[in-house]
Amino acid sequence: MARPRASTGPAAGQGRRQPAITVQAIEAVAGSLGVSRDSSGVVTASVQSQVAALVSGIVSKVVRKSGDWVGAGDLVVQLDESQLRIALANTQAALDTARINLQTVQDSTVQNNQKLILQLQSAQASRDSAKKFYDSQKALFDLGGLSASTLDTAGASLANAEAALETAKIALDQNQRGVATTANQNVEALKIGVTTAQNNLQQAELNLRNAAIRAPFAGQVSAVNVTPGMYVGLNTAVFVLVSAERQVNFSSSPQDAPALPVGSPLVFSWAGKSFPLTIKQAPSAPVNGVVPMVAGGPGLSGLSYGLVGDLSYQVVLATGILVPMNAIDTTDNRNYVYVVEGGKVALREVKVVAESGAVAAVSGLAPASLVVVSPPPGLVPGAAVTTIPAQGIDLGTGPKASQARPAGGSGAAPRQGGGSPAGTPGRGQRPAQAAKP
């Protein structure tokens, strides 16, 4: 298509006047150039859950089998409840005992309170009497009418009375706050014991409920891993549940994945039927050289899990000015197109960004430029031309072709350095297909 012209180029001179040359021309358009990709996809459940036992025990009954459809909360596997019911009864008894112990101490506190108040009042009166007696004895001692030993005796009596008063105050305060000298009489400790017993009872009730292993959501039981009589431990996977909603899993090349954000359209085909889908999750990091992708959409509910079908989607290679590939000419390792301006042709150097089929995206050219298609031999800049519409060329504004190739070609000179995206195949090659899972 592109051919070097030793005698023509940007610097070529113009010859004598000639009649206008008839050329085919097309108007370049601004748009996106893309490529269609084909891959294979597998129909899988949107949600798959390994449902585990939340309590250990012996399997007493398997209610549902593999392949059964269940609703959210439906019973699938039942564990034996006998030991769990005994544990529940024991925790209930422990709670009752803790409550009785607490109530007994609280009742005792109320009964002792009045007695301790009277003891405090008596201690207060004794202390006041001892204080008055000591003050009178001190006055006599100061006048010389009392011996020191007698004053000391009065002082000792006052100290004992003050100590007895302090002891009565402490006893009343501790009784009012429920504080006793032994742990089994401490109201605060007994309250904690009641709370602990309540928590143990709630756990025992939960364990009993968990003996019935139910479906966490509506779906199909795809596998049952236990049989009656089998012991299962905590967190043992008992059955596998898959959702009724389906999706298609496939893989894309790392080069194409960034061009497939959430919401990008795809088409899944199987048995002559097509299902429009969209990307459901953002592309992740490559795994074994490919990027795992997930697509979903209506109509998949009737397809079997594990079914493999064909996927097709489009990837935008570049955005620029779209021109036919056969409008691009090459001279001295540079790419040019002929444009018609005022009835004459002029050369415009362009940079090929990407190629797809018979269309290229270029830079360096204004939108709506009238581009000569398949320039005839001998066409030189400045030549007068008459244009006729080029036939059979559809530039479009989006992905159209089924094959793509990077800027450049089989030779070293034509369209090199075109800046095509990494990963696009060479000219004349098939485009890289998205890896199949």
236-285 pLDDT, tens per residue?
999 999 999 999 999 999 988 988 999 999 999 999 999 999 999 888 88
Segments forming the whole domain that contains residue 145: 84-198
Is residue 421 one of the residues assigned to a domain?
Answer: no
Task: Name the band, by pLDDT with cuts 50, 70 and 90, for residue 16.
Answer: low
Q: Containing H/E element for 317?
A: strand 308-324
pTM: 0.56
- Please state, rounded to an integer, the average pLDDT across all residues of the chain: 84
pLDDT in tens, 141-173: 888 888 889 889 988 998 998 998 888 888 777
CATH number of residue 301's parent domain: 2.40.30.170
127-141, 224-238, 387-401: segment of lowest average pLDDT = 387-401
| 225 and 141 part of one domain | no
Which of 163, 198, 233 lies at the terminal end of a domain, its last residue? 198
| 95 and 119 part of one domain | yes
CATH number of residue 73's parent domain: 2.40.50.100
Which pLDDT belongs to residue 161?
87
Is residue 168 one of the residues assigned to a domain?
Answer: yes
| 160 and 95 part of one domain | yes
pLDDT in tens, 336-383: 999 999 999 999 999 999 988 899 999 999 999 999 999 998 899 999
Is residue 360 one of the residues assigned to a domain?
Answer: no
pLDDT in tens, 93-138: 999 999 999 888 777 777 677 777 877 888 898 889 989 999 998 8
CA distance 222 to 241: 6
Higher pLDDT pick, 429 / 265 = 265
Is residue 4 one of the residues assigned to a domain?
Answer: no
| 180 and 194 part of one domain | yes
Identity at 408, one-letter amino acid code? G
Task: State the total domains in the chain.
Answer: 3
Is residue 370 one of the residues assigned to a domain?
Answer: no
CA distance 27 to 45: 49
Is residue 304 one of the residues assigned to a domain?
Answer: yes
| 187 and 237 part of one domain | no
Which of 167, 198, 229 lies at the terminal end of a domain, its last residue? 198
Which of 276, 295, 312 lies at the terminal end of a domain, its last residue? 312
Query: Burial, 345: exposed, middle or buried (Cβ in 10 Å; 0-12, 13-18, 19+)?
Result: buried
Is residue 300 one of the residues assigned to a domain?
Answer: yes
Residue 167's CB is within 10 A of a number of other CB atoms, namely 13
Q: Containing H/E element for 111?
A: helix 82-143
Residue 389's CB is within 10 A of a number of other CB atoms, namely 10
- 381: nearest Cα among 77, 12, 64, 4: 12
Is residue 230 one of the residues assigned to a domain?
Answer: yes
Quick check: 302 pLDDT over 70?
A: yes
| 219 and 306 part of one domain | no
